Amino acid sequence: MSIKSRKVAIIGTGLVGSSCAYALVNQGICEEIIMIDINKDRAKSEALDLMHSVEYMSLRTKIRVGSYEDCNDVDAVVITAGPPPQPGQTRLDTLEVSVKICNSIVEPVMKSGFNGFFILASNPVDVISYHVLKLSGLPKNKVIGTGTALDTARLKSIISEKLGGIDTKSIQAFAMGEHGDSQMVPWSCVTVAGESFLKLVSNYNKIEEDNLDDIVKETAKAGWEIINGKGSTYYGIGATVVGVLKAIFHDEKKVIPVSALLEGEYEQNDVYMGVPSILGKNGIEKIIELDMKEKEKYEFNNSANILKEYIAKLGY
């Protein structure tokens, strides 16, 4: 009987990439991690630091520094490399620089013979995911952006706080659309332990239907609050990436709102957006289409139009 070790390459070993690697090691998701960065000293230092933690983890994960050529037989390549937004910028404003970085990565990775999953965390993640799909030539189920998965975790945390601390795992809610300012929440589909959220809020003085737009804005701005306080977000996105990889490696059939290519779903085409998707051993196995109200459809379509505008800037 042959046993195949699971291997993950992380490209970009800054705060986000190293947090992804630590979450992988901590949760014992794979047997080998390859750290790749243009700054080889940084990659080596992060690899060493991670290696020294393995003694006290549940799995003896092998961690090493590598190059794009080493991606030939990995199961997944995680791309976290990219510029952080400068003061006054949105994630979309970083597109030009992010595309250049992406171009320098994807071509040599594909040249290595790579045929696994791309997991994209670089912003603007929806547009970058579309670009990687076109650059790589891989099927759409294998090119996955983190999308609104982290936004959804933030949304559920906010809802939980406003409902007196209800466990976030008892809340069914999704942030959808752009991982950015135009994201939306289909409130008509939100439930708490099976009960309609819109019916439930009438019992809580802290929430009124008129305040729902404020919750969406608070969710979209949550990352900026963290950035303003400590310069970057990395634990949340690191855990999000590992959640996606875990769903694939363990064939969990878990629903996560990742950035996926729409081809008729939600009446949208040729655009990557954050939508609830079933993740399993084949990557994105199915996109879940929620039955949204007209106002929610309008908000979702508005987000799609913004993303299409930026995709068009790349010549597609």
Query: What does the alpha-carbon distance between residue 136 and residue 120 come to, in Å, rounded to a whole number?
Result: 13
- 239 annotated to a ligand binding site: no
Q: Do the Cβ atoms of 273 and 260 come closer than 8 Å?
A: yes
Q: Give 276's strand partners.
A: 257
Query: What does the alpha-carbon distance between residue 74 and residue 167 come to, in Å, rounded to a whole number?
Result: 36
Nearest to 132 by CA among 146, 148, 153: 146
Which one is catalytic: 52, 131, 179, 250? 179
- 90 annotated to a ligand binding site: no
Q: Do the Cβ atoms of 70 and 9 come closer than 8 Å?
A: yes
Query: What does the alpha-carbon distance between residue 60 and residue 54 come to, in Å, rounded to a whole number?
Result: 6
- 143 annotated to a ligand binding site: no
Q: Do the Cβ atoms of 122 and 82 come closer than 8 Å?
A: yes
Ramachandran class of 82: left when φ > 0, alpha when ψ lies in -120 to 50, beta otherwise: left
- 14 annotated to a ligand binding site: yes
- 316 annotated to a ligand binding site: no
Integer-rounded Cα Rg, in Å, for the chain is 19
Query: What does the alpha-carbon distance between residue 96 and residue 316 come to, in Å, rounded to a whole number?
Result: 14
- 68 annotated to a ligand binding site: yes
- 165 annotated to a ligand binding site: no
- 125 annotated to a ligand binding site: yes
Nearest to 73 by CA among 105, 109, 107: 109
- 146 annotated to a ligand binding site: yes
Catalytic residue list contains 131: no
- 60 annotated to a ligand binding site: no
- 282 annotated to a ligand binding site: no
- 151 annotated to a ligand binding site: yes
Q: Which segments are annotated as binding site for substrate?
A: 91, 123-126, 151-154, 233
Task: Point out the annotated binding site for NAD(+).
Answer: 12-17, 37, 42, 68, 104, 121-123, 146
Give me the active site residues, please: 179
Task: List binding-site positions.
Answer: 12-17, 37, 42, 68, 91, 104, 121-126, 146, 151-154, 233
